[in-house]
Amino acid sequence: MKCTGKKYIPVKKYIAALLLVCLFVFVACGDKKQASDYRITDTSTDYGLTASRQEACNLLSAGTVIPRLDDVNTATNSQGSAFQSALVINETSGHVLYSKQANRKAYPASMTKVLTFLTAMRCGQLSDTLTVSENALRVMEGSTMAGLRAGDQISLQEALYAMILPSGNDAAITIAEGLGGSTEHFAEEMNETAASIGATHTHYVTVNGLHDDNHYTTANDMYLIFHEALKYPVFRDIISSKTHTGSFQSSGGLKRTLTWKNTNRYLQGSVQSPSDMTVVGGKTGTTDQAGACLVLLSKNARGEEIISIIFKAGNHAALYKQMNHLLEVYGQNR
């Protein structure tokens, strides 16, 4: 199955309808209780891509947080602000706990692959068989790879593990070519996916996050993308796995297996989270331009889910030090 783009709402076609919907949204959905001041009701014009009044009501009552303000809680922490932008949200209560320049344009590096995952789930089935091309192996020298070979036959599910755990760029391209026909077309589908969930300040041109000046997102948008991906049980399974042994066929029909390790240092055990926080999983990203990045799902002492995001820390040590500080200071808040 390949992406056609038909399942997404064409943004331009419905802009006029969106404006009309916004005139009625508070009247039609006024009885819906909101858990936070920073809700999609505040930004429906900017983010709520709805094709009907009923769809607008459903979207408003879905409980998705759309952080609007850059500085919900930006008191200088004791570690300093050694990152470009960051966001911490209590996913259970829907409250924004911390935000620093969350609307600022940022390079996501391999956090891009969360949107690659989300688009793949909308385009294909986990049982779909993909063929690894020579092109999938032609990536920038030194970039992370899953160890696939040209001609390998791999299921979408195994390819998703190969893309996220070791951050395999070869797997990301294989998914894009198998479901979208080309990386260029699949990147367009990714942008359609982002727009359909309200991540309208995201524009991707690659499927793996290798740097391009025109490939960017924001901390707010990354939250929306990650939030949506978490609705898929397989995504939670993947990001919470320390390792995974994938099984697939070589070009000659022989069985191949590869064991992939999670790039997340919390999952590796080389970094410990604060004692009252349990890390579930997330996605890392690193390039020279993006710095060290991480989007993370954790649980606090009450079992509430916390999503925390950091863009452009100076290095990996600084990234995890800052992430731990955010979790320690804000993770227990409601």
Could you report the per-residue pLDDT of 298-321, keeping only the tens digit for each?
A: 999 999 999 999 999 999 999 999
Query: What pLDDT does 81 receive?
Result: 59
Query: Strands, DSSP E only, in the chain?
Result: 85-90, 95-100, 129-131, 153-155, 243-249, 255-261, 278-287, 291-299, 305-313
The pLDDT > 90 percentage for the chain reads 73
**Residue 64 predicted with pLDDT over 80:** no
Nearest by Cα to 110 from 289, 314, 300, 284: 284
Query: What pLDDT does 2 receive?
Result: 63
Q: What is the mean pLDDT of residues 191-197?
A: 98
pLDDT band at 334 (very low <50, low <70, confident <90, very high): confident
**Residue 62 predicted with pLDDT over 50:** no
Query: What pLDDT does 303 receive?
Result: 97
Which one is predicted more confidently, 14 or 188?
188
**Residue 76 predicted with pLDDT over 80:** no
> Which of 36-50, 59-73, 317-331 is modeled with the greatest confidence?
317-331
Query: What pLDDT does 232 receive?
Result: 99
Q: Which domains does the chain have, with CATH numbers?
A: 12-60 (no CATH), 85-106+266-330 (no CATH), 113-234+243-262 (3.40.710.10)
User: In Å, what is the CA distance from 93 to each residue of 54, 279, 306?
Assistant: 24, 18, 9
The CA distance from 74 to 208, in Å, is 31
Which one is predicted more confidently, 73 or 333?
333
The CA distance from 161 to 239, in Å, is 9
Query: What pLDDT does 4 receive?
Result: 57
Mean model confidence pLDDT for the chain: 83
H or E stretch covering 224:
helix 219-229
> pLDDT tens across 90-103, in order?
999 999 999 999 99
